[in-house]
Amino acid sequence: MALHVNPHIGGLTTVEHGGTGWAGLKGRDGILDFSTCCNPYGPPPGVRRALRKTDISDYPDPHSRELVKSLSQSLGIAAVNIIAGNGSTEIIRLAAQAYLAAGDGVVIPSPTYGEYELASRLAGAAVTKYKLSEEHDFQLHMDGFISFVHGHNPGAVFLCNPNNPTGQLLPQGDVRRLVKALPDTLVIIDEAYMEFTWQSGDAPALIKEPNVLVIRSMTKDFALAGLRLGYGLACREIIGNLEKVRPPWSVSSPSQQAGIAALSRGGYMLECNGRIQKCKTYLVSKLAALGYKLIPTDTHFFLIKTGDAALFKSRLLEKGLLVRDCTSFGLPAYVRISPRRMSDCHRLVKAIADLAGKAD
């Protein structure tokens, strides 16, 4: 007799992420990874020292109080409005678990981060996608989106800002209009890449609204992917409900201490961002000169149209370079590239020029 699986679980598949394109390789030595969108300059000074000093023989603080205090001081947002998580994806899962149930509707622009749909479907909710047009470079036009959402009356809307994988940033006025237009809908705004846009976002004002959850990642800007660290910002009631469904000790002691150490270097991202943007500018100009179509972007990563993303990725992987095949986003003709250090970017451009038969 077969085991019974919840009906809304049986048809689910896991979400593909960057940094997972190593299948079939005998080893990772020498591979340059352009598929993940983390800070290529590594964690701030002091993080590794904090990790070495961390006592791992005891349980971590289940509420990450010292980390939350550091976030509060850094952001100018009260601690009661902050929840720390095991990466921003945990906060996404907590929001779905706390606020969605079987029969609820969710609206998600597409293409975007796949974990929004998976988290919603894990809760039994029905997902409706708002298709962004390739003809218009996947820009989201807020008036049309608000009208579409009103027609579906969802329990939640997910909005990635800047969007992954397109890298486009919505004006804060548009975000506020969406929030005001949906007073009975939870608006979940994922700002995981906001630090790479030279913008600070509008979280302090947004979370004064009772229907907003802003999610941010420390994995990306502080290069802590191996530790997993993110946080949510919202009114006291939403934070309290997320706390109720969070597993105990989800943020490890090393992660908490790494976050505290990273936040103590307040200007670190500003220092890195200038170098990252120079690398992006170099890549964009060189690849455009090779004849590739690139989607305009407001953050460090960008989409490039290659025709056959899987083949393009495979051919670069043979040269020791990994890019993000965007087929899983529904974009089989595109890859996403995130800058590494300049010397690595030179190597990528040369390899792509070789593929295009346009090497110097």
- Asked whether the predicted pLDDT for residue 199 surpasses 90, the reply is no
Encoded amino acid at 318, one letter: E
> What band does 27 get if pLDDT is binned at 50, 70 and 90?
very low
pLDDT at 16: 81
Task: List the structure tokens of 99.
Answer: 């606020």
Pair of tokens at residue 304: 């490039």
> What average pLDDT does range 117-129 have in this prediction?
95
Average pLDDT over residues 30-53: 92
pLDDT, tens only, 83-106: 999 999 999 999 999 999 998 999
Q: pLDDT by residue (tens digit) across 227-278? A: 999 999 999 999 999 999 999 999 999 999 999 999 998 888 888 999 999 9
pLDDT of res. 237: 97
Are 300 and 338 in contact, with CB atoms under 8 Å apart? yes
Q: Are 217 and 87 in contact, with CB atoms under 8 Å apart? A: yes
Residues 6+ apart with CB under 8 A from 273: 195, 196, 198, 300
Q: How many CA atoms lie within 13 A of 246 on its CB side?
A: 25
Of 19-23, 99-103, 222-226, 353-357, minimum mean pLDDT range: 19-23
Sign of the four-CA dihedral 312, 285, 114, 36 = positive
Give the Å distances, CA to CA, from 169 to 86, 132, 192, 258, 313: 25, 14, 12, 28, 26
Closest CA to 158 of 129, 138, 181: 129
Residue 24: what pLDDT? 47
Q: What whole-number distance in Å separates Cα of residue 191 and Cα of residue 193?
A: 5
CA distance 191 to 209: 17
Reduce the DSSP state of residue 298 to 3 states and report it.
coil
DSSP 230-259: EEEEE-HHHHHHHHHHSPTT-S-HHHHHHH
Using alpha carbons only, what angle is made at residue 262 by residues 258 and 264, rounded to the nearest 5 degrees? 120
Q: Please report the pLDDT score of residue 265 as a whole number.
A: 86
Q: Which residue has the tokens 């992420």?
A: 17
**CA 339/CA 106 separation, integer angstroms:** 33
Q: What is the model's pTM?
A: 0.93
pLDDT at 29: 59
| Rounded-to-10 torsion of CA 331, 332, 338, 342 | -140
- 10 Å CB burial of residue 102 (0-12, 13-18, 19+) is exposed
Beta bridge partners of 106: 127, 156
Mean pLDDT of the residues in the chain:
92
Contact 284, 319 (CB under 8 A): no
Domains parsed from the chain with CATH numbers? 7-42+268-356 (3.90.1150.10), 47-263 (3.40.640.10)
% of the chain at pLDDT higher than 70: 96
Mean pLDDT in residue range 139-152: 96
| Helices then strands, each counted (H, E), the chain | 14, 13
pLDDT of residue 281 exceeding 90: yes
Average pLDDT over residues 184-199: 94
Query: What average pLDDT does range 340-354 have in this prediction?
Result: 96
